[in-house]
Amino acid sequence: MTELPNEDIISSLTGTALRVFVYAVKKGNNIGVRETQRDLGLKTASHAQYHLQRLEQIKLLERNENNKYNLPEEYESLRSLKIGILTEIYVFKGWMIPSLGLFAGFLGASLVISLLFFFLLPDPLVSITFSSASLLLAAIYSSFRTIQIVKSFKNSEN
């Protein structure tokens, strides 16, 4: 993942401001106040406008000539977004997928395949081997992610 210019600002976003920024990343360009209000379920258009203007002030959004908001050029191809220390979200074709969701999906699919192997094949050794390999891959992935998180936390302290 490339280093973003405002990564500290992004990771410090919380609440509605974070929701609006994630919405902007998901939607792309030409985000209007009313559609932001409607899509995020905000009570008033002025509440949506406040957060859009706040994101514009910290240079996470830009306003165009139609009074709509666009992502700055450096964020248009954003594919991954770190939120806090433990959460990373991947953007794939407009879908926001938490990295832990991918991990849980992998483990869930591995469980289903292991059970199918166990009940459909005469030799349970295949199921045990597949399950062991899946758990080993999960342990390697979680160790790798833990090392990345600890390094990023140490770097943010400096």
pLDDT in tens, 68-81: 888 887 776 666 66
pLDDT in tens, 42-59: 888 898 889 888 888 888
pTM of the predicted structure, to 2 decimals: 0.53
pLDDT in tens, 106-144: 888 888 888 888 888 878 888 888 888 888 888 888 788
pLDDT at 155: 62
pLDDT at 1: 41
* Residue 27 to residue 14: CA distance in whole angstroms: 19
Res. 89: pLDDT tops 80 = no
Query: Which one-letter DSSP state was computed for residue 60?
Result: S
The four Cα atoms 24, 8, 86, 109 give a dihedral, to 10 degrees, of: 40
Query: Strand, coil or helix: what is 119?
Result: helix
CATH class as words, domain 7-78: mainly alpha
Res. 86: pLDDT tops 60 = no
